[in-house]
Structure 1
Amino acid sequence: MKRMHTAVAAIALFCASYNSIYAQTVPNNSTWQMKPVSIQTRWAKDVNPQNVLPEYPRPQMVRNEWQNLNGLWQYAITDKDAGKPAHFDGQILVPFPIESALSGVQRQLQPTQRLWYKRSINKPAVSSDERVLLHFGAVDWDAKVYVNGKEIGGHTGGYQNFFFDITDVLKDGANELEVSVLDPTDQGANPHGKQVLNPQNIMYTASSGIWQTVWMETVPAAYINNIRITPDIDKGQLKLEVLTAGKTGDYTVEAIASNGKKTKGKPGTTLLLPVPDAKLWSPDQPNLYNLTVKLLNKGKVVDTIGSYFGMRKIEVKKDDKGVERLFLNNEYVYHLGVLDQGFWPEGLYTAPTDEALKFDVMAIRNMGYNTIRKHIKLEPARWYYHADKAGMLVWQDMVTCASDKPEAKAAFEKENKENIAQLYNYPSIVIWVLFNEGWARYDQKRLTEWMKQEDPSRVVDGHTGENYDRGSPEDVNQKWASSDMTDIHDYPGPGIPPALAGKARVLGEWGGVRVPTLKHQWNDMEGWGYIQVPASVFKLKYDSMVKKLSTLEAQGLSGSIYTEPFDVETEENGMMTYDREVIKIAPEDLRQIHSQILTQANSYAAAPGVFQAKVADTANPDLQYASLLEQFRNGKNDPEFLRDLTVMAVRVKDEKSIPELSAATIKKMNNPVTLSNLNFLLKFTNETSDPGFPILLKNHTAAAQLIGNERIQNKLRILIFNSEIKPHVSTENKDINWTTLESQITSKYGLAGEEAVLFSQAVHCVNHQDWGNFFPAAQRLVDKYKSNVPSDMLNTFAWAIFENVTDTNQLKTALTWSQYSMESSQAPELFDTYANLLHKLGNQQEAIKWEQKALDVNPGDDVFKETLNKMKRGEKTWN
């Protein structure tokens, strides 16, 4: 069967009293500095290599003997299969992702690369019966940890904390700690959220490697390993389970709450702590109780942790009118929320400081919301602590399954179990969200029911945005099977889902109104939203939308999640800008608007000093364009003025002036290799004669590290092709003197020119079915520039050989190309090509295995089914 493969031409509750007793060792010869970034938050300037995120990282299990290992480490990037590096590339500021400006590196980690970290740690002064634990808040994605050259363990999962007992491998004095990391981002089976290698629209820059606090603590030989707390407000008690690790023996546990009540029992059993006349936790009164848990041996305390809990209850039940609603503490509470994604311009997944982390929660409350949907990301423990303290209701998304492949499903389910266990104790989390808009959705009923069994104390949203699950043949009852709610997305909306028995009705996403804010944009060359309005009309627009929302609430809507509180990269539909500097509607106006549906919204005003932001200017700056252009004509040419004027010319569509203004801006660039300047160069460089072209050509290696090799190489290739090669291939004549053309272009543009010619020749031969010249051209290209050839093009080349060539050596080479294509992508058509090549080479059983993989990923593909059946019958799959 012929298949078309087309040629290719995003806790301070206790921490104040529990301080580290260790001194952190930080290199004095630091050369670290934050890399340039287009915008940054006010907290970026507070980042100091000697004191990075110093707060105790685990607010619900606080101990006093600990050491923060954040700070400057050495780093190196190698091929993923390489051994430990002999030399390191420089310093990286942990725990900021290597792609971030605050890391001091700002390089994009590729799926084919391995990231190495190294630093020295001192062995704590411990007694013979004490243990030293090494903790990682989160490392994305596949980590291996070494102490003094010995591998002590590994972990896969980008969002979960993990630790190792390193006591037995430590020596007195200095010890060497190393970590190696693989992160395929969106090219593997790993749950990665909205991280992609090529960001655009609703997908954002990746965060690879260590991105949460690294720390050590000293514990006794037997110690408290975890606690699990479940409030029961109807019975006036707290269910408590204390898990222990290390030395075994006759141990008991004792828990004392700040209300004076206590309970005792054995580790691993369910203890009941009385909480009579409980002060309930809610958005309006976020009451928390302190909790001290002790481990005792023969009456002697051997370990103590500080914790806290909140007494609250969440459920779905009928109101007095018989409408299914979300009830908190036996009362109906409307969930008025936002979709919070947790990205930072200078830190990506990692907030620059704990104050910044807290600000996001308090800013959202100050806007008059009582709910946050934490979207496809898990945050550090301190974020949930701030939400607990603020009284914020949290809907916690699971991190999306990467694909339909079995290994992706296995990773998704493994991490979901860890996620629930890790976040179980936070009272703010009231809803688990399983699937989003049908993305890699499978076995929804089974997984929803599993989640409810895993945690019966919370509500489960089995499928948010069911209506965006395009192409699914299931009816709405199946798409919300076993879920506690019906949930649609409606942009800009608002809308309401259907009423189904036993389920609350919620609007999982709505809004998405873009209000671009000049001088506060991640990329002033691009910006995105579902709809766009100027700042001058946004308040009226939003007010009218909330009025409609209020009518839907009266009809039975129990909650709504507005997209979104903060802009994220090019997505400019936030209530605030990405740098958290400008709020697009004054917070007092927002609270007043929200009081139409949540009467107590006006009481959510932040205390003085907690919230700070400018209100967006509603004036239209483009009205000044003519006068500003005249200033340019009269000689004004400072870099910032030129750039702003160029972008303004684009907005007002002054096509005549854009080339002149952009050229003037480029000539004034002091450092072209910044994210902001590269975006400008890519936007306004359209010919090799443009002034941006030689800059991109000269700096393409540095640019590739910042924005990705594929993006910069594609741009250079297209520019050279359009200017130098296209005139030669625009006719039907396939007899081109490629040798002469290659010599001319390579002498002019170097290796970038050679690569462009080889690409063009290979694609030209495919398009003209010139198989005699195709193979040597494609082979030269892949041999020399394999890392620059996109996986879909490698697949196209391999398929062309499969369909049109019988030479065994060429088929074996094409099989190698097909293997290369699968290194950075796991698309089913790549499996199909590989299987067909194996089949043509006579390896029938292996071919059947790979074709079955293609069908597993895309079970509805009739071509895959027919191909698989032919392979099983031993028939040809080629013409």
Structure 2
Amino acid sequence: MLDIKRVLKSKPRKPEHTALRTMLTPWGEKIAAGEKDLPPASHPSPQLARDAWTSLNGAWECAFVFAHDAATAWRRATPPYGGWQPIRVPFSPEAPLSGVGRQLQPSELLWYRRSFEAPALSADERLLLHFEAVDWACQVFVNGVPVCEHVGGYLPFCADVTSALRAGANQLALCVFDPSDAGAQLRGKQRLERGGIWYTAQSGIWQDVWYEVVPAARVSSLSLDPRPEEGRLVLTVGVEGAGVLEARLLDEGRMVACATARAAPGHEARLVLAVPDPHLWRPSDPHLYDVELSFGADRVRSYCGFRTVEVAADEAGVPRVRLNGKTLFLRGVLDQGYWPDGLMTAPSEAAFAHDILAAREMGFNMLRAHVKVESRRFYALCDRLGMLVWQDMVSGGGAYGAWQTSYKPTLLRASWGLTTDEGTRAARRLSADDPGYRREWREACAGTVALLGGHPCVVGWTLFNEGWGQFDSRAACDDVRAMDSTRLVCAASGWYDRCCGDVRGVHNYFRPLEVWRDVAARPRAFVISEFGGVSWSVPDHVSLRTAYGYDTAKDGEAFSREVTRLLDQALALRGAGLAGYVYTQLSDVEEETNGLLTYDRRVNKLAVGGPEPAPES
């Protein structure tokens, strides 16, 4: 039975042009106050780390420049003479912590600049410049020389800028184009007109900028493939230069395996390290092994965890998720990864740790990283703290039609199995008819799988969410399985299921919770991949006077009671075949007040007694 009251309450509404109330997290408060005592961040690339690296975060300048054809001008533009203002990197200009408070428009280019002192390099050294994420397309200059360009807002990239350097001060500049939802590119939940489930669009640099000095002959890439059932770790390593590559595997400082191989540029080296009885990684015991690589003068640190994940039938023939051969019920919570002071940028590594630990303390064992790729530090923390991650691919495409992505699937559940995502007409209906978008989605999907493939915490992929830009999900599922056979795939979370993948993920906000019959030929685990959404606006901890959610609690006691009732109801469905759930959601975000934590992370709403002490930074 459809709950009409809930449906009407969650009906999409026209955005109100009301300014968000400025809110600071405990970590953002320290940054805004100029305090210098925040703990130093760990390495921005934790699975390909060298001891020496230099952060370029901090004080930059930015300028907004109108362009008649910004979509092409970013490749050939020259820096403006005036209009420069300070910006705190890595926060986007739309984020309060940037100090700018200005939204980039689709008809504008966003310029950045700063100077840095390059260290003296020997003849056999190179300087690599790294950007962890820039939204969306950018051209990078060092001393006026173009050193690289990049398209895509969620994945890291780097460039060897050695030939553009000069002695002393060097000028680094960046030209960015980002149309946000005026374009069809990948953007997740960003919108120029925020409201309801859609959040403030942001642009430009939003993750770390850093550089490192490396030997000319060096390790350039590393893929980790732990195979516990085979008792071995397989490393695939790319190099610059030729020589002998050595790998060592250590367990709490004790070497347990080593291997060597000849390596040459253009040919990836494969090393196999025997680990006959590996200590398995699991949430209650997140055991990690250290990996060390040596190649000439280059030294690289990494790590790995051994674990298996699969869907297999239990004694009654019901498909279940199994971790290391044992049934594991997924107790997930939807993690939007937004912050009132940093938007998509967490104000501190400690802020990531706070959210992970808060989720665990509330009884969850999994975070669903929702249509956003996080900082690599986030996944490293989940590895170390034992938090499972179900990773969404970032959504994109044209403007979403409310009928196809909301009204029809909400009112007509029968449409879920009758709506195809294959062919030209389907692509048009689901806002996936732009060939550039489809190409970018495929490339970013492959890039995300490669980027996160070494993290034991990541146990599954969601390819499409609620029909947003969905296309050819069967083919996409086959492609991801070919790239990564060690994780589960949910091809379409929400509604338009094409009977593929390992998991059937349904969203159920408006009907009684239950396990529905799966008509797929291959048995799949049934997961309620979104539900709940109870709203409670905690006074003095909200961004807006308006609130969005699927049900409203009058106070903390009512909120806690209703959330607990829904979670217990979902848990009781295990006997009916439920393999897991994802509750909506971990924290409030802007108008959405259906989080278990307030947007500023200062109140745990399930703690009826009131605000918890502010977390340590």
Whole-angstrom CA distance in 2 between matches of 1:189 and 1:545: 36
Whole-angstrom CA distance in 2 between matches of 1:436 and 1:383: 22
- Give the 3-state SS of the residue equivalent to 1:518 in structure 2: coil
Whole-angstrom CA distance in 2 between matches of 1:77 and 1:180: 10
Pairwise CA distance, 1:54: 4.2
Greater alpha carbon shift after TM alignment, 481-490 vs 202-211: 481-490
Instruction: Tell me, yes or no, if the aligned pair for 1:496 and 1:505 is still in contact at 8 Å.
Output: yes
| Partner in structure 1 of residue 548 of structure 2 | 528
| Partner in structure 2 of residue 288 of structure 1 | 288
1:488 matches 2:513: no
Instruction: Tell me, yes or no, if the aligned pair for 2:465 and 2:494 is still in contact at 8 Å.
Output: yes
- Give the 3-state SS of the residue equivalent to 1:582 in structure 2: coil
- Give the 3-state SS of the residue equivalent to 1:546 in structure 2: helix
- Give the 3-state SS of the residue equivalent to 2:446 in structure 1: helix
| Partner in structure 1 of residue 448 of structure 2 | 419
- Give the 3-state SS of the residue equivalent to 2:291 in structure 1: strand
| Partner in structure 2 of residue 214 of structure 1 | 209
In the superposition, the TM-score normalised over structure 2's length comes to 0.85
Instruction: Tell me, yes or no, if the aligned pair for 2:225 and 2:234 is still in contact at 8 Å.
Output: yes
Whole-angstrom CA distance in 1 between matches of 2:461 and 2:613: 33
Greater alpha carbon shift after TM alignment, 164-173 vs 43-52: 43-52
Pairwise CA distance, 1:37: 4.8
- Give the 3-state SS of the residue equivalent to 2:331 in structure 1: strand
Structure of greater relative contact order (alpha carbons < 8 Å, 6+ residues apart) = 2
1:257 matches 2:257: no
Which residues in structure 2 correspond to 1:399-798 (within 5 Å)? 399-403=394-398, 404=432, 405-466=434-495, 469=496, 479-491=497-509, 494-499=513-518, 500=520, 501-523=522-544, 525-534=545-554, 535-586=556-607
Whole-angstrom CA distance in 2 between matches of 1:573 and 1:87: 44
Instruction: Tell me, yes or no, if the aligned pair for 1:231 and 1:313 is still in contact at 8 Å.
Output: no
The number of residue pairs the alignment matches comes to 543
- Give the 3-state SS of the residue equivalent to 2:517 in structure 1: coil
Cα deviation code 1:103-131 (max 9, x no counterpart): 00010100100000011111212211100
1:128 matches 2:123: yes
- Give the 3-state SS of the residue equivalent to 2:60 in structure 1: strand
- Give the 3-state SS of the residue equivalent to 1:43 in structure 2: helix
Pairwise CA distance, 1:255: 2.7
Q: CA, structure 1 residues 609+425, in 2 after alignment: closer, same or farther (shift >3 Å)? A: farther
Pairwise CA distance, 1:241: 1.1
Amino acid in structure 1 at the alignment position of 2:515 = I
Pairwise CA distance, 1:483: 1.0
Whole-angstrom CA distance in 2 between matches of 1:409 and 1:117: 29
Pairwise CA distance, 1:274: 2.0
| Partner in structure 2 of residue 832 of structure 1 | none
Q: How well do the aligned residues superpose, as a CA RMSD in angstroms?
A: 2.2
Which residues in structure 2 correspond to 1:186-201 (within 5 Å)? 186-201=181-196
Whole-angstrom CA distance in 2 between matches of 1:496 and 1:375: 23
Which residues in structure 2 correspond to 1:16-55 (within 5 Å)? 37-47=21-31, 48=34, 54-55=41-42
Cα deviation code 1:410-434 (max 9, x no counterpart): 1111111111111111110000110
Pairwise CA distance, 1:452: 0.6
Amino acid in structure 2 at the alignment position of 1:256 = L
Q: Which has the higher strand share?
A: 2
Greater alpha carbon shift after TM alignment, 275-284 vs 341-350: 275-284
Whole-angstrom CA distance in 2 between matches of 1:610 and 1:101: 20
| Partner in structure 2 of residue 183 of structure 1 | 178
| Partner in structure 2 of residue 266 of structure 1 | 262
| Partner in structure 2 of residue 827 of structure 1 | none
Q: CA, structure 1 residues 543+249, in 2 after alignment: closer, same or farther (shift >3 Å)? A: closer
Amino acid in structure 1 at the alignment position of 2:470 = R
Instruction: Tell me, yes or no, if the aligned pair for 1:487 and 1:497 is still in contact at 8 Å.
Output: no
Whole-angstrom CA distance in 1 between matches of 2:352 and 2:359: 12
| Partner in structure 2 of residue 279 of structure 1 | 279
Whole-angstrom CA distance in 2 between matches of 1:187 and 1:134: 30
Amino acid in structure 2 at the alignment position of 1:264 = T
Q: CA, structure 1 residues 587+294, in 2 after alignment: closer, same or farther (shift >3 Å)? A: farther
- Give the 3-state SS of the residue equivalent to 2:48 in structure 1: coil
- Give the 3-state SS of the residue equivalent to 1:317 in structure 2: strand
| Partner in structure 1 of residue 60 of structure 2 | 73
- Give the 3-state SS of the residue equivalent to 2:527 in structure 1: strand
Whole-angstrom CA distance in 1 between matches of 2:463 and 2:562: 32
- Give the 3-state SS of the residue equivalent to 1:239 in structure 2: strand
Any stretches of 5+ residues in structure 1 without a counterpart? 1-9, 11-34, 297-301, 470-478, 590-607, 614-879
| Partner in structure 1 of residue 411 of structure 2 | none
Whole-angstrom CA distance in 1 between matches of 2:288 and 2:499: 35
Pairwise CA distance, 1:318: 0.9
Any stretches of 5+ residues in structure 2 without a counterpart? 1-14, 68-72, 399-431
Cα deviation code 1:161-185 (max 9, x no counterpart): 0000000110111111100100111
Whole-angstrom CA distance in 2 between matches of 1:134 and 1:279: 36
Q: 1:361 aligns with which of 356, 361, 366?
A: 356
- Give the 3-state SS of the residue equivalent to 1:549 in structure 2: helix
- Give the 3-state SS of the residue equivalent to 1:574 in structure 2: coil
Instruction: Tell me, yes or no, if the aligned pair for 2:125 and 2:216 is still in contact at 8 Å.
Output: yes
Pairwise CA distance, 1:136: 0.2
Amino acid in structure 1 at the alignment position of 2:123 = S
Greater alpha carbon shift after TM alignment, 61-70 vs 95-104: 61-70
Pairwise CA distance, 1:546: 2.4
Whole-angstrom CA distance in 1 between matches of 2:192 and 2:35: 28
Q: Which has the higher helix share?
A: 1
Whole-angstrom CA distance in 2 between matches of 1:144 and 1:210: 12
- Give the 3-state SS of the residue equivalent to 1:376 in structure 2: coil
Whole-angstrom CA distance in 2 between matches of 1:543 and 1:254: 49
Rg comparison, structure with higher value: 1
Greater alpha carbon shift after TM alignment, 105-114 vs 394-403: 394-403
Cα deviation code 1:633-676 (max 9, x no counterpart): xxxxxxxxxxxxxxxxxxxxxxxxxxxxxxxxxxxxxxxxxxxx
Q: CA, structure 1 residues 77+249, in 2 after alignment: closer, same or farther (shift >3 Å)? A: same
Whole-angstrom CA distance in 2 between matches of 1:587 and 1:161: 41
Whole-angstrom CA distance in 2 between matches of 1:36 and 1:92: 20
Instruction: Tell me, yes or no, if the aligned pair for 2:138 and 2:149 is still in contact at 8 Å.
Output: yes
Pairwise CA distance, 1:398: 0.2
Amino acid in structure 1 at the alignment position of 2:508 = D
Whole-angstrom CA distance in 2 between matches of 1:333 and 1:521: 36
Instruction: Tell me, yes or no, if the aligned pair for 2:246 and 2:258 is still in contact at 8 Å.
Output: no
Pairwise CA distance, 1:266: 3.4
Instruction: Tell me, yes or no, if the aligned pair for 2:247 and 2:291 is still in contact at 8 Å.
Output: no
Amino acid in structure 1 at the alignment position of 2:245 = T
Instruction: Tell me, yes or no, if the aligned pair for 1:367 and 1:588 is still in contact at 8 Å.
Output: no
Cα deviation code 1:776-810 (max 9, x no counterpart): xxxxxxxxxxxxxxxxxxxxxxxxxxxxxxxxxxx
Amino acid in structure 1 at the alignment position of 2:513 = P
Whole-angstrom CA distance in 1 between matches of 2:54 and 2:565: 52
Whole-angstrom CA distance in 1 between matches of 2:36 and 2:158: 23
Greater alpha carbon shift after TM alignment, 221-230 vs 211-220: 221-230
Instruction: Tell me, yes or no, if the aligned pair for 2:560 and 2:608 is still in contact at 8 Å.
Output: no
In the superposition, the TM-score normalised over structure 1's length comes to 0.60
Instruction: Tell me, yes or no, if the aligned pair for 1:228 and 1:241 is still in contact at 8 Å.
Output: yes
Whole-angstrom CA distance in 1 between matches of 2:226 and 2:616: 35
Instruction: Tell me, yes or no, if the aligned pair for 2:557 and 2:608 is still in contact at 8 Å.
Output: no
Instruction: Tell me, yes or no, if the aligned pair for 2:246 and 2:295 is still in contact at 8 Å.
Output: yes
1:314 matches 2:343: no
Instruction: Tell me, yes or no, if the aligned pair for 2:124 and 2:216 is still in contact at 8 Å.
Output: yes
| Partner in structure 2 of residue 736 of structure 1 | none
Whole-angstrom CA distance in 2 between matches of 1:544 and 1:254: 51
| Partner in structure 2 of residue 711 of structure 1 | none
Pairwise CA distance, 1:269: 3.1
Amino acid in structure 2 at the alignment position of 1:327 = R
Q: Percent identity?
A: 37
Whole-angstrom CA distance in 1 between matches of 2:472 and 2:21: 42
Cα deviation code 1:693-735 (max 9, x no counterpart): xxxxxxxxxxxxxxxxxxxxxxxxxxxxxxxxxxxxxxxxxxx
